């Protein structure tokens, strides 16, 4: 083989590697672009309608290691905005990406990049200063939005078929600052006594030797009616979404905020490796949700 042929061959062989490195390293640069996104709407009067942020409850009276959980009773958003978001979420259900990864997860997801590309109102609200301020107040920490290129930044989770759930887990922090997950139920309907689905947001108190992951310690189950909110430090709180029963419908708007949205490259690589272990190389596609 000529020197040129060898060079071309080596270049061709390295294309997948270059793609891989690109997809692992590109995202930190995307933050710079996304910081320029300005929300189109004024959401101020739609958030906590008729209530001041000082009136809203801050935190659950729970035990050791759960101080990072905050719940807020509804209404979080005005009836009009809530109806609009519910209608959009219902309309997107047919295009949401369904996964079945027993025993970890079963359900459908509309990931952040897809919501962003479709200019859905969730992204506008997520990025707005008013919403950010309210979330910061609830958490007692000044937080900011993270890159829109992550699947979980601002996503919709559908628990609409029997057995849909997410098993016990920590969320993955790939940022320098503290990382918070914020959940707002858009739909939560079923046959339980109070009309909610059988799926509850559950979290377990931290055990000093990590035995909470083995089932040791007190578990709390939180009922989340439509238009309420729970916010928590996902990478430090052992949590899950229980299984829905046949006929239940639970649709959650899930968001991520951080005290510093500067990404740590090696943590992002670890996240990608974890995702690839679940769903294979297609996890490397930009914004692919599992
Ligand atoms: O749907 C739930 O209750 C939990 C969702 C969750 O764990 C997450 O978005 O990180
Ligand atoms: Fe989670």
| Domain residue ranges of the chain, discontinuous segments joined by + | 9-36+55-284
Beta carbon of 250 within 6 Å of any ligand 1 atom: no
Q: Determine the pLDDT at residue 61.
A: 47
Question: Residue 239 CA: which ligand 1 atom is closest?
Answer: 7
Distance CA 123, CA 14 (A): 36
Beta carbon of 234 within 6 Å of any ligand 1 atom: yes
Q: Ligand 2: distance of its center to the CA of 254 in Å?
A: 9
Most informative mutation of 107, 146, 157, 187 for ligand 1 (most atoms within 8 A of CB): 157
Select 9-36+55-284's CATH number: 2.60.120.620, 3.40.50.11260, 1.20.1640.10, 1.10.1380.10.
Answer: 2.60.120.620
The strand pairing partners of 77, in sequence order, are 47
Q: Determine the pLDDT at residue 285.
A: 60
Q: Ligand 1: distance of its center to the CA of 240 in Å?
A: 6
Q: Ligand 2: distance of its center to the CA of 243 in Å?
A: 14
Per-residue pLDDT of the chain (290 residues; tens, 9 = 90+): 456 556 555 555 555 565 565 555 544 444 434 545 677 789 989 999 988 887 776 655 455 556 678 889 999 999 999 999 999 999 999 999 999 989 999 999 999 888 988 999 999 999 999 999 999 988 888 999 988 878 888 999 999 999 999 999 999 888 888 999 999 999 999 999 999 999 999 999 888 888 888 888 889 999 999 999 999 999 999 999 999 999 999 999 999 999 987 876 666 676 667 666 655 565 666 554 44
**Collapsed DSSP state (helix, strand, coil) of residue 162:** coil
Q: Answer yes or no: are the C-beta atoms of 108 and 93 closer than 8 Å.
A: yes
Q: Determine the pLDDT at residue 29.
A: 42
Beta carbon of 256 within 6 Å of any ligand 1 atom: no
Most informative mutation of 110, 168, 239 for ligand 1 (most atoms within 8 A of CB): 239
Q: Determine the pLDDT at residue 31.
A: 42
Q: Determine the pLDDT at residue 53.
A: 80
Q: Determine the pLDDT at residue 15.
A: 54
Query: DSSP string covering the chain, please?
Result: --HHHHHHHHHHHHHHHHHHHHHHHSHHHHHHHHTT---SS--GGGBSTT--GGGS--S----TT-TTEEEE-S-SB-HHHHHHHHHHHHHHGGGSEEEEETTTEEEEEE-HHHHHHTT-HHHHHHH-HHHHHHHHHHHTS--EE--TTSTTSEEEEEE-STT-EEEEE-PPP-BSS-EEEEEEEEEEE-SSTTS--S--EEEEPPPTTSGGGGT-S-EEEE---TT-EEEE-TTTSEEEEPPPPTT-EEEEEEEEEES---B-HHHHHHHHHHHHHHHGGGGGSTT---
**HEC string for 179-199:** EEEEEEEEEEECCCCCCCCCC
Nearest CA to ligand 1 atom 1: 241
Q: Determine the pLDDT at residue 169.
A: 94
* Token reading at 241: 């979404």
Q: What is the DSSP letter of 281?
A: G
Q: Determine the pLDDT at residue 156.
A: 97
Q: Ligand 2: distance of its center to the CA of 240 in Å?
A: 7
């Amino acid at each position: 083989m000529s020197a040129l042929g060898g060079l071309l061959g080596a270049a061709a062989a390295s294309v997948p590697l270059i793609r891989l490195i690109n997809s692992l390293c590109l995202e930190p640069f995307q933050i710079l672009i996304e910081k320029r996104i300005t929300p189109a709407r004024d959401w101020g009067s739609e958030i906590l309608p008729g209530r001041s942020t000082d009136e809203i409850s801050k935190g659950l009276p729970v035990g050791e290691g759960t101080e990072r959980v905050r719940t807020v009773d509804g209404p979080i958003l005005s009836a009009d905005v809530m109806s609009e978001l519910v209608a959009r979420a219902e309309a997107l259900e047919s295009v949401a990406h369904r996964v079945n990864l027993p025993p970890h997860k079963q359900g459908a997801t509309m990931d952040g990049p897809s919501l962003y590309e479709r200019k859905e109102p969730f992204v506008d609200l997520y990025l707005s200063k008013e919403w950010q301020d309210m979330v910061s107040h609830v958490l007692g920490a000044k937080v900011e939005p993270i890159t829109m290129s992550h699947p979980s930044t601002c996503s919709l989770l559908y628990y609409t078929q029997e057995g849909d759930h997410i098993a016990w887990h920590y969320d993955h922090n790939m940022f320098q600052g503290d990382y918070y997950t914020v959940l707002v139920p858009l739909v939560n309907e079923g046959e339980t006594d109070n009309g909610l689905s059988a799926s509850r947001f559950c979290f377990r108190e931290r055990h000093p030797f990590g035995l909470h992951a083995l089932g040791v310690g007190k578990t709390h189950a939180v009922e989340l009616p439509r238009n309420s909110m729970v916010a928590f430090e996902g990478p430090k709180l052992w949590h899950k979404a229980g299984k829905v029963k046949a006929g239940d419908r639970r649709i959650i708007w899930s968001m991520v905020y951080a005290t510093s949205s500067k990404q740590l490259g090696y943590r992002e690589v670890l996240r990608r490796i974890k995702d690839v272990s679940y769903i294979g190389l297609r996890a490397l596609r930009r914004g692919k949700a599992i």
